[in-house]
Homo-oligomer: A and B are copies of this chain.
Amino acid sequence: MSVQTRGKLLRAAKKVFSEKGYYNAQISHIIDTAGVARGTFYLYFKSKEEILKEILKEVVKELKDRIKEVDLRYDPIDQIVANIKRVLDFALEERDLARIVLQRNCDPKLFSIIEDFFEEVTLMVETSLKKGIALGLIRECDTYVLAKALIGGVKEVIVGLLDKEEVDTEKVAKDLVSFGLRGIWKGGGSYGGFGSI
């Protein structure tokens, strides 16, 4: 088992899945891109499905590494911004991976790893929201809806950035947090005619 060959295949698969999507990607494309023979592929991966899962697992691992628990002894905002920045950086460093992951593909068999991860993140966010509400920092709200909205927002923004050349991820992260927080933050003032909501 050569680690290099495995690497070549993984890199090729990321590229191909990203460009064509899982179903339009063919083993032929992957091995051509990797420059190995057909049989070699099956020496390293049991099936087309397996190499996808391998890739998804890698992504989840990397993302988990980059999302760090917020330590309330320090300014939480800075930490959230840093988390989002790290996620954005990863997405833009590995655009192929981001494209694969963010193409929600309904086949639950295939993308369960990703779905589960997002589920986890959603829960994490919801928990944070609840904590914030309990602490009186965050307004009362449907935490489930809010959590979904926050994550969906980040996802969509990433998709939007994948085709941009140069992105100031720090600024985008701050924009997002600023947007998110000022929205959920228990503000003082009333908002125009919006008091009726």
- Chain A interface residues toward B at CB < 8 A: 18, 20-21, 23-24, 75-78, 81, 99, 102-107, 129, 132, 136-139, 141-142, 144-146, 148-157, 159-160, 171-172, 174-189, 191-194, 197
Contact among B106, B141, B151, B189 with A187 in the assembled complex (CB-CB below 8 Å): B189
Give every chain B residue within 8 A of A76 (Cβ-Cβ).
192
Interchain CA distance A145-B170 in the complex, whole Å: 13
A21 touches B107 (CB 8 A): yes
Q: Give the distance in Å from the alpha carbon of A60 to the alpha carbon of B174 in the complex.
A: 33
Q: How far is the CA of A50 from the CA of B81 in the complex (A)?
A: 44
Bound Cα distance A157, B150 (Å): 9
Known: A23-B23, A104-B159, A137-B185. 9 other contacts (CB 8 A): A21-B106, A23-B107, A78-B193, A103-B106, A137-B192, A139-B184, A152-B153, A187-B189, A188-B188
Which residues of B lie under 8 Å from residue A139 when comparing CB positions? 182, 184-187
